[in-house]
Structure 1
Amino acid sequence: MSDALATLTQTAVGDDGGGPYAIAVGPDNALWCTLVHAGQIARLAPDGRLDRFPLDSASCGPSVITAGPDGALWFTRSQDDRIGRINVDGRATSFPVPQAGSGPFGIVAAPDGALWFTQLHGDRIGRITVDGRVTEFPLPVSGAFPSGITVGPDNALWFTLNQADAVGRMRMDGDVTIHPLPTRQAAPVGITCGVDGALWFVEIGAGQIGRIGTDGHTDEFPLPDRGSRPHAIAADPVRGGCWFTEWGSGRVGFITPAGEISEYDLPDPGSEPHGLAVGPDGAVHVALETGAILHLEPHPG
């Protein structure tokens, strides 16, 4: 582990904070961020302009956001059981999930042209087409709290099961394989497909970064601060590793494919870093729930 240096700048999202939660790069090269406490979506343009777009419900709880195959941004609304869609001009619509109280959370665009999402309280993985048709696939475990989701190098859906201490794999036909993790109470959350062809995930309960191959083999890498509560993770195609947030300690970390960890202290250890994304400028952009979007530019070396 090493302490690393970076240039850090912040853009406030407004006087109310809004609760920046997840962030994604849009087809317009802007950063799109969910404001979970305000019921809004924010857009941070490359020139620094910030716009906020209110949704039809201030309490809908916009959570995870991703670029869709149709040139729009898609996001989960965990509090009112809907999947949202917003055009790059700020016009938003939404579609209901069949089961009330299911809590849609993670979402990702898949090779089949649809978006797939997790349901925290429903023990299901959902699929929504760009015209709003939803199909649901039940999981073979109950109370598992499916959370993050990504597409693997095998074109299957890989997702974390936070309360089951496991990582799941689902084929496009709904066939599921569950891979239990070595560590009890690991509580995995975020997951991403790394440049090394493996799936990388964070264990918020155990303070570790995990790596699982498509064959199910798992490695775990303990963080220096096991109580740092790692939350989200994103692959960096240029630097070759993955970035992750440490929500409980106010840090951002980087892990190489070999498991070497570097950490960057944020100015405010209580800033609650959640989602993050690598931008087209190569910088790392982090949603700070206390009310800002962080721009992190690592120093060479």
Structure 2
Amino acid sequence: MDIREITIADEHAGPYGITAGPDGALWLTLTHAGRIARLDPGGGDLRTFDLGAPGCRPALITAGPDGALWFTRTGDDRIGRITTGGRLSVHPLPTAGCGPYGITAGPDGALWFTEMNADRVGRLTPAGELSEVPLPAAGAFASAITTGPDGALWCTLNRANAVARITTGGAVTLHELPTPAAGPVGITATADALWCVEIGAGQVARITPDGAVTEFALPDRAARPHAIVAAGDGCWLTEWGANRVAHITADGAVTEHDLPTPASEPHGLAVGPDGGLWVALELGRVAVMNHAR
């Protein structure tokens, strides 16, 4: 497997979330620098955009239904929007300290996001209309969120040891994970299931839309898997604690790949418009694997 790294910031900037944009570029959050970065996967051209709030801690980022990029600002309780031309705007959230984190484009033309510290999931239209759905679990620490193959939203509840299914009408169903203290974080969807990583258990879980859960142990149970993305015949995930990325097939077979730079702290990952797998490394770099399945 060919893996190369590209420096995009200093070692303190903290590349964290990453997504493919509608303009053929990779868009990243620089969580410690309060900036957004745009990287051309072909020529390597890099632009960064200052959010004007060094402590806003941009976290996860997604392409929106309006052709812009949307991201959470965990440090100052806002949802950010940036056009592909670099124009910035923000949407403040009503609850101080709610800690928005995960974000995804929903099937209803809105952005859906988690509020880690408020036990809620939020819905924001591109026009700025905001509503919130309470989760039936106190201290759940809602984390990543994605749209499932059933047209509902699914998010991980890190401290409740469960995943939640939320319809676009706001009905919530919880599905507990079999392993105690598994600590689910990243979540993604394939054509027939949801897949989430269990950072506390060193496992990957597959959840069907009706809530049936199958767990697959990673070869290194101390790997601390963090983010996951569907790709081809399975999913790719970052092993934050082991400085690796791994691929898991639909039947649970795992292949692991060491990253070139020690202690690079891999976090978010995305399949780029070039078909490569792009990984945000908190050390100030991105890694690209040119033969993603």
What band does the TM-score fall into relative to the shorter chain?
A: over 0.9
Equivalent in the alignment of 1:3: none
2:230 matched to 1:235?
A: yes
Query: Who is 1:189 aligned against?
Result: 185
Is the 1:245–1:274 Cα contact (8 Å) retained in structure 2?
Answer: yes
The structure 2 residue matched to 1:254, chosen from 212, 231, 247, is 247
Deviations 1:79-98 (A, max 9, x none): 10000000101111110111
Deviation at 1:25, TM superposition (A): 0.3
Q: Is the 8 A contact 1:7 1:299 kept in 2?
A: no
CA distance in 2, matches of 1:259, 1:265: 19
Matches within 5 A, 1:142-291: 142-195=138-191, 197-236=192-231, 239-291=232-284
Q: C-alpha distance in 1, partners of 2:253/2:183? A: 22
How big is the shift at 1:280?
1.6
Distance 1:126 1:143 in 2: 16
Q: Spell out the pairing of 1:99-178 with structure 2 (5 A cutoff).
A: 99-178=95-174
1:42 partnered with 2:37: yes
What are the within-5 Å matches in structure 2 for residues 61-72 of structure 1? Answer: 61-72=57-68
Aligned residues: 292
Aligned pairs for 1:79-90 (under 5 A) are 79-90=75-86
Distance in 1 (alpha carbons) for counterparts of 2:292 and 2:171: 44
Could you say what secondary structure the match of 2:85 adopts?
Answer: coil
1:14 and 2:9 matched? yes
- Structure 1 match to 2:24: 29
Distance (whole Å) between structure 2 residues aligned to residue 89 and residue 18 of structure 1: 22
SS in 1 for 2:195: strand
Q: Aligned partners of 1:29, 1:43: CA distance in 2, in Å?
A: 10
Q: Quick one: distance in 2 between partners of 1:86 and 1:169? A: 28
SS in 2 for 1:294: strand
Farther-moved stretch of structure 1 (16-25 vs 161-170): 16-25
- Give 1:298 shift: 3.3
Shift in Å, 1:18? 1.0
Where does the alignment leave 5 or more consecutive residues of structure 1 unmatched?
1-5
One-letter identity of the residue aligned with 1:298: H
Runs of 5+ consecutive residues of structure 2 not aligned to the other structure: none
Partner of 1:94: 90
Change (3 A) 1:161 1:268: same
Change (3 A) 1:299 1:24: closer
- CA RMSD of superposed structures (Å): 1.1
SS at match of 1:94: strand
Q: Shift of residue 173 of structure 1? A: 1.1
Cα pair 1:212 1:219 within 8 Å, conserved: yes
What is the Cα deviation at residue 7 of structure 1? 0.9
Output the CA distance in 1 between the equivalents of 2:36 and 2:292: 31
Q: Decide whether aligned partners of structure 1 residues 299 and 203 sit closer, same or farther in structure 2, where only a CA change above 3 A counts.
A: closer
Give the 3 Å change call, closer, same or farther, for CA 214–118 of structure 1 in structure 2.
same
- 8 A Cα contact 1:148 1:159, kept in partner: yes
How far did 1:15 drift?
3.0
The residue identity in structure 1 corresponding to 2:240 is W
The whole-number CA distance in structure 2 between the counterparts of 1:299 and 1:60 is 33
